[in-house]
Chain A
Amino acid sequence: DTEVTQTPKHLVMGMTNKKSLKCEQHMGHRAMYWYKQKAKKPPELMFVYSYEKLSINESVPSRFSPECPNSSLLNLHLHALQPEDSALYLCASRDAGQSSYEQYFGPGTRLTVT
């Protein structure tokens, strides 16, 4: 089973709202990623968690706050977003113990900021 699930599928929020995106995997992967993808562009890496610790923050604005409560779950907390933050947000996971490096992606959350 190589499934990564993401909820919700779609989210519309105002610039003053607080919301969260959720990502879950049960493959025992200990590396998890958040990406942002704009239309017709490749995914842009935002954050990497390795063994539940934040290992990479790609200079993401503080209005995005990641959280990894356990080895299966990854959250992205959103607050005071801007319309330009509207995008597809993808979660991915990787088996950190293997030197294979392939990442498995979830279906994404389509975020619209109004």
Chain B
Amino acid sequence: AQSVTQPDIHITVSEGASLELRCNYSYGATPYLFWYVQSPGQGLQLLLKYFSGDTLVQGIKGFEAEFKRSQSSFNLRKPSVHWSDAAEYFCAVGPMEYGNKLVFGAGTILRVKS
């Protein structure tokens, strides 16, 4: 069955430090992979997506992610975190067979300390 695992529920990093959020997926075919960010009480904003081609994809707000098929991973990275990056991050995979649905991971809450 298709699924997404985000192993870290919470991560705390210092402002200016680098960040890596982990995402592992289980999917029968070539996946479409996404990272979304959600600030408290807000909707989800698409950070970046991977469909095919270059396995290192660039997104908005200085984020990037690398697709590694051999590890079934799609980790999100940022070289220098800003206090405004504090939010919840969701990895998602799709499409599902019926209805082009996305499956979301449980999310990782990022805290940034000054």
Contacts and interface: CB of A to CB of B under 8 A. Distances in A.
Given A42-B105, A43-B104, A56-B101, A105 B90 contact: no
Interface string B76-114: 000000000000101000110011111011110100000
Given A107-B43, A108-B41, A101 B100 contact: yes
Contacts of B45: 105
A88 B42 CA distance: 9
In this complex, the interface size class of chain B, counting residues with CB under 8 Å from chain A, is 20 to 34
Contacts of A43: 44, 90, 104
A53 to B, nearest CB: 12
Given A42-B90, A42-B107, A108 B43 contact: yes
B99 A41 contact: no
B42 A108 contact: yes
A48 B49 contact: no
Interface in B15-74: 32, 34, 36, 41-46, 49, 51
Contacts of A107: 42-43
Interface string A87-114: 0101010101000111111111010000
27 contacts: A2-B46, A40-B107, A41-B106, A43-B44, A43-B104, A45-B101, A48-B99, A55-B99, A56-B98, A56-B101, A90-B43, A90-B44, A94-B100, A100-B51, A101-B32, A101-B100, A102-B34, A102-B46, A103-B102, A104-B46, A105-B36, A105-B43, A105-B44, A105-B45, A105-B46, A108-B42, A108-B43
Interface of A: 2, 4, 6, 31, 40-43, 45, 48, 50, 55-56, 88, 90, 92, 94, 96, 100-108, 110
Interface of B: 32, 34, 36, 41-46, 49, 51, 88, 90, 94-95, 98-102, 104-107, 109
